[in-house]
Amino acid sequence: MFTKKFWLTFVLVFVVLEATNYFFYMYLLDPLWKDPEVAKAFRPEEEMFSKMWMGYILDLIWSFFFTFFFAKGFENKGVWEGVRFGIYIGLFYFLVVSYGNYIVFPIPYKATLYPFLCGFAQSIILGVVAALLYKPKVQSEET
C-alpha cells in the first residue's frame, strides 16, 4: 500500500491542505476571527502564531491518515469516489470538531457554522485530489 503513488498523494494532499487552510482560514474567515465576540475566545494572535509549528505537524499527521484511509477503501471509481470520501471525512471530522467547539467555547454560532462549511468544502477538495492522484497499478492475478 505504501507505494510511490501513496506518498505522492500524501504530499500533495498536505500541500493542498496548507493552501486551502491559508485561503479559508487566513483570508475568507479573517473577518470572523477579528470579530470581538469571537476573538475573545482565542489566544492573542502573536501567541497563536508562535505555536503554529504544531499546526503544521498536526496537518502532516492529518494528511497522512486522510490519504491512508482513502487508500484503504480505494475502489477506483474516479472523482466521485473522492467527492464521496470528502463528504464522509467532512462530516466525521469538521462537523464533530466545529460543533464540539461550540459546546465548549463561548463563541457565537457563526464561528461554528462558517469554519464547518469551509472545512467541509476543504475535505471534498482533498478527496478529489486523492482520487485524481491515487491510482495504484493493477496487479495481475496469478493462477
Per the domain annotation, does 81 fall within a domain? yes
Per the domain annotation, does 25 fall within a domain? yes
pLDDT score, position 138: 58
pLDDT by residue (tens digit) across 31-80? 999 999 898 888 888 998 999 999 999 999 999 999 999 999 999 898 99
- The overall average pLDDT reported for the chain is 92
Taking the model in full, what pTM does it have? 0.88
Query: 127 is in which domain, residue-wise?
Result: 4-133
Per the domain annotation, does 33 fall within a domain? yes
Per the domain annotation, does 139 fall within a domain? no
Per the domain annotation, does 35 fall within a domain? yes
pLDDT score, position 143: 40
- CA proximity to 67, closest of 19, 20, 15, 137: 15
How many domains is the chain built from? 1
Per the domain annotation, does 74 fall within a domain? yes
Residue 88 has pLDDT above 60, yes or no: yes
Per the domain annotation, does 104 fall within a domain? yes
**Residue 117 vs residues 22, 29, 114: alpha-carbon distances, Å:** 15, 11, 5
Per the domain annotation, does 141 fall within a domain? no
